[in-house]
Amino acid sequence: MSEVSPLRKKFAKNLLNIRKRSRLSQEELGFLAKLHRTYIGSVERAEQNISIDNIHKLIKALKIEASELFS
Q: What is the pLDDT of residues 1-57, one digit of tens each?
A: 579 999 999 999 999 999 999 999 999 999 999 999 999 999 999 999 999 999 999
CATH architecture of 6-70: Orthogonal Bundle (1.10)
Q: What is the largest CA-CA distance in the chain?
A: 34
Give residue limits of the domains in the chain.
Answer: 6-70
Report the sign of the C-alpha dihedral through residues 62, 65, 70, 71, in that order: negative
pLDDT at 48: 93
pLDDT at 2: 75
* CA distance linking residue 43 with residue 59, whole number of Å: 14
pLDDT at 1: 59
pLDDT at 41: 98
pTM comes to 0.93
